[in-house]
Amino acid sequence: MPVLRSIAVGTPANRVSQSEAREAAKTFLPRLAARPKLLDVFDNAMIDTRYLARPLEWYLEPHGFAEKNAVYVEETLALCERLTLEAMEKAGIRAADIGAVVFVSSTGISTPSLESILMERLGIARHAVRLPLWGLGCAGGAQGLARSADLVRAGYKNVLFLAAEFCSLTLVAGDETSSNFVATALFADGAAALILGPDDGSGPALMRVHGSFSTLIENSKDIMGWDVVESGLKVRFSQDIPSLVRQMMSSNVQEALEVVGWTQDELQEYVVHPGGAKVIEAYEESLGLPAGRLVCSRRVLREYGNMSSSTVLFVLNETLRRGAHGKGLLSAMGPGFCAEHVLVDFGE
């Protein structure tokens, strides 16, 4: 049985309040900001603060794809190195003990993929298996956790799972679409490092991973993704995501639970990616949960914004911090369009 040995989450240093971001939007996208109903997105997002790769003023100047991607590489390596060292210390292992590395990211590009550079920096064995996963977006935290658990089942004793996203670097100045404006109100930067291993008593066991369930929704590629333009990765997403959650999530979660023989009545913890305030509400409605039940998802959204794949891992960290117990569901949706669920047990 794969277990979570440790988790470390973190952000870059530039903290921005939502009111500051709102004012900046008037310069960043002046035509859209002049429409009061659109500007209300900042107030309705239920976000107080976010963290960005660069000071807010940097985003008000034009930057090309190459420059933004260079920042992505620099910041991803620095943050992932710090978090990996923290996660290894918590797990009580050395870099040489890591047998596999899973790296999830969708907000920049690099070949060689960045986990290979981190392996050299940290002294991870050069024979360690590498599994870089790109393009999963917000679903990447759940998918990466599931694939890391699969590697443990395959016999790898210590698996490092990294999810790093710098969504702020995908904002495109002059893109007068509502998607870009909403992204300006939601997107933020952050990363997480997790160590997983077998449940053999050799280290901490914060959570057991029982199984996972993936669903690719047909004819849905336009719901979320990137369009590649001269100035970078241009966001594309639909306002119909909350409606889709309401339509499908109840039956989809039921299918996921059947994989491990559980029922929803047995679930005590819900670790849900907070794509936005309306998405959280849609999850609660679809799963028949009391309004406000997803406390950890709301807190992460309020304090950090939407950091794509790493966000659900911040929710997991908050859930553990609050003393999680019993069976749980970790859930996220992302480009494809897809739903990803991981069935976990926090013990008693």
- 279: its two tokens: 């998405």
What pLDDT sits at residue 92?
95
Looking at residue 289, the DSSP 8-state letter turns out to be P
Q: How many CA atoms lie within 13 A of 73 on its CB side?
A: 14
Residues 42-65, mean pLDDT to the nearest whole number = 92
Instruction: Report the pLDDT value the prediction gives residue 218, as an integer from 0 to 100.
Output: 86
In the predicted model, is pLDDT for residue 32 greater than 80? no
**What is the Cα 323 distance to its own chain's centre?**
21
Mean pLDDT of the chain: 92
pLDDT band at 320 (very low <50, low <70, confident <90, very high): very high
* C-alpha distances in Å from residue 65, one per residue of 103, 133, 170, 173, 224: 22, 21, 9, 12, 20
The dihedral of CA 217, 297, 41, 179: what is its sign?
A: negative
Instruction: List the structure tokens of 263.
Output: 């029922």
Q: DSSP secondary-structure letter at 290?
A: P
- Is residue 298 predicted with pLDDT exceeding 70? yes
Please compute the mean of the pLDDT values over residues 52-57 and round it to a whole number: 95
Per-residue 3-state assignment (H helix, E strand, C coil) for 123-192? CCCCCCEEEEEECCHHHHHHHHHHHHHHHHHCCCCCEEEEEEEEHHHHCCCCCCCHHHHHHHHHECEEEE
The confidence band for 177, taking pLDDT boundaries of 50, 70 and 90, is confident
Closest among 294, 49, 277, 86 to 192, alpha carbons compared = 86
Query: Catalytic amino acids?
Result: 138
Taking the model in full, what pTM does it have? 0.95
Residue 336 in this model has a pLDDT that exceeds 90: no
How far is the C-alpha of 218 from the C-alpha of 254, rounded, in Å? 19
What is the sign, positive or negative, of the torsion defined by CA atoms of 202, 207, 208, 214? negative
pLDDT band at 39 (very low <50, low <70, confident <90, very high): confident
Which of 302, 319, 312 has its CA nearest to residue 334? 312
Task: Read off the pLDDT of residues 100-145 as tens digits, 9 standing for 90 and up.
Answer: 999 999 999 999 999 999 999 999 999 999 999 999 999 999 999 9
Band of residue 33 on the pLDDT scale cut at 50, 70, 90:
low
The pLDDT value given to residue 37: 75
Structure tokens at 22: 């709102």
| Average pLDDT for 67-87 | 97
Q: Cβ distance 187 to 56 under 8 Å? A: no
Q: What does the DSSP assignment read for 106-125?
A: -S---SS-HHHHHHHHHT--
For residue 182, pLDDT over 90 is answered with: no
Number of helices and strands (H, E) in the chain? 11, 13
Q: How many CB atoms lie within 10 A of CB 227?
A: 13
3-class secondary structure, 77: helix
Instruction: Kindly report, residue by residue over 218-275, the tens digit of the pLDDT.
Output: 888 887 888 888 778 878 777 778 888 998 999 999 999 999 999 999 999 999 999 8
Q: Which of 89-93, 131-135, 198-202, 230-234 has the lowest mean pLDDT?
A: 230-234
Cβ count near 236 (within 10 Å):
17
For residues 144-159, give the mean pLDDT. 97
- State the pLDDT confidence band at 46, using cuts at 50, 70 and 90: very high
CA angle 295, 223, 35 (to 5 degrees): 80
How many CB atoms sit inside 10 A of residue 229's CB?
11
